[in-house]
Amino acid sequence: MSHLDDPARPAPPLGMLAELTHRCPLQCPYCSNPLELTRKRDELDTATWQRVFAEAAELGVLQVHLSGGEPAARPDLEALVASCVEHGLYTNLITAGVNLPRARLEALAEAGLDHVQLSIQGANAEVNDRIANLPGAFAKKMAFARDVTAVGMPLTLNSVIHRHNLHQLPELVELALDLGARRLEIAHAQYYGWALENRAALMPPREQVMDALALVEAARERLAGKLVIDAVVPDYYARLPKPCMNGWGRQSLNVTPAGRVLPCHAAETIPGLAFWDVREHGLGEIWYDSPAFNAYRGTAWMPDTCQRCERREIDWGGCRCQALALTGEASQMDPVCERSPYHDEVQTLAIVDASRDAEFRYRRFGR
Specify binding-site residues: 24, 28, 31
Say how far apart CA 220 and CA 186 lie, in whole Å.
12
Q: Which residues pair with 228 in a beta bridge?
A: 183
Residue positions in the annotated binding site for [4Fe-4S] cluster?
Answer: 24, 28, 31
Q: Which residues pair with 231 in a beta bridge?
A: 186
Cα atoms in the Cβ-side hemisphere of radius 13 Å centred on 261: 29
Cα–Cα distance measured from residue 19 to residue 308, given in angstroms and rounded to the nearest whole number? 37
CB 255 within 8 A of CB 278: yes
Contact between residue 290 and residue 13 where contact means Cβ atoms under 8 Å apart: no
Q: Taking the CA of residue 202 as centre, how many other CA atoms within 13 Å lie in the half-sphere pointing to its CB?
A: 26
Which residues are 119's β-sheet partners? 158
DSSP tag of 260: B
Rounded to 10°, the helix 102-111/137-150 angle is 40
